[in-house]
Structure 1
């Protein structure tokens, strides 16, 4: 078996060159065997350094994401305080929250209720009068996802509907379910120009909390 391997390597001298990952599993040769062996040692070191750089990049990305997530948590806390003292929730959401959350726009949208009874119909009319933007029936589930409370998107679609006049500035957004007691489907849309404002990792819980706070403020 060893002779077959040796014969194959002699017939294919570039075999290890084309498969540098194998150097990580090979025992390093001694330098006393000559410069060719020393080249193998250099290749093994290069392969390990390449792997280490890859791991370092992953760690740095995780750290950056964690910091961005922590920053978002602090921003949401400030937004909660603003909503707690707000006398006009729509004005607070659209005028104050963008600066507090470090985003370009915050909008509230809701779906029309077809064949709605009493309370839902009244809520829909009140939302329109208060300045809520309309969205087609089924938009909440389609955009956020069935059973999901929040979603950060790096590819923005339907920007004009979701972010109105700020649409051209938005490069990523967060779509948050606002669970109203009346049952009317309602969405909080955050539009950001800077990707760091809306990190994609470990943010769903924080954004979902913001959605619940907005719902509580609207119900006052």
Structure 2
């Protein structure tokens, strides 16, 4: 073989080796179409068990008979289920955000009422329910020191609102008669808020709502905790 021929052969070999290396770097070799078809024939339930694959497949045309039409219907059904799920998640997130924003505004109005009031327990029980859009507001303490504050037994505050939590929204209120008294039959959801009074006596603010949307479970604890601190500041005046 001439020098030119050897040079040409070497160049082709290096080019072929480079192409092979590039193909190997691209990832594992995929099975041929015949192997995929054979696998699906051997496992006819595979697509039904993996409906997410329908999202990546191109839909067949309805000119190949009912089996092809059923296959396309399955793909469309899987995609519609996915879209409905996304829409439901989006609606839930938007509703939670709206409810949280609404509570933020109502809490601000309640804080303004506390700033101008002369009798804090009276403002809590008489003004705050309407401002917060709920049925009842109650101040509770294990050592009540003024009229309008409901007494709690020793250790009751920690049982109702465990230490380390400043606020909690409860979808299934317990001790409703103790907390909400005569308004208890109206309360479908409530919230308990820690009031960090300067005396250190365990004190809570209880909010009761007929409409669960008035006390959203999400995006509300920070606002309620702020309201509890505002009540404590008003009590310290």
Equivalence for 2:51: 20
Cα offset, 1:11, TM superposition: 5.2
Equivalence for 2:11: none
Unaligned runs of 5+ in 2: 1-30
Query: Contact 1:172/1:198 (CA < 8 Å) preserved in 2?
Result: yes
Q: Does 1:148 align with 2:148?
A: no
Q: How many residues align?
A: 205
Unaligned runs of 5+ in 1: 113-123
Distance 2:100 2:62 in 1: 53
User: Highest relative contact order (Cα 8 Å, sep 6+), 1 or 2?
Assistant: 1
Equivalence for 1:59: 90
Distance 2:185 2:196 in 1: 28
Query: Contact 1:98/1:106 (CA < 8 Å) preserved in 2?
Result: yes
Equivalence for 2:140: 109
Equivalence for 1:139: 156
Q: Does 1:79 align with 2:110?
A: yes
CA 1:68 to 1:32, structure 2 compared with 1: closer, same or farther past 3 Å?
A: closer
Cα offset, 1:214, TM superposition: 0.4
Equivalence for 1:41: 72
Structure label with greater radius of gyration:
2
Equivalence for 2:24: none
Matches within 5 A, 1:178-197: 178-197=195-214
Distance 2:59 2:160 in 1: 57
Out of 206, 211, 215, the residue aligned to residue 198 of structure 1 is 215
CA 1:215 to 1:30, structure 2 compared with 1: closer, same or farther past 3 Å?
A: same
TM norm structure 1: 0.84
Distance 1:155 1:19 in 2: 38
Distance 1:55 1:143 in 2: 37
TM norm structure 2: 0.79
Deviations 1:8-65 (A, max 9, x none): 64355344335433323x4225428823234322211211111111111111111111
* Pairwise CA RMSD: 2.1
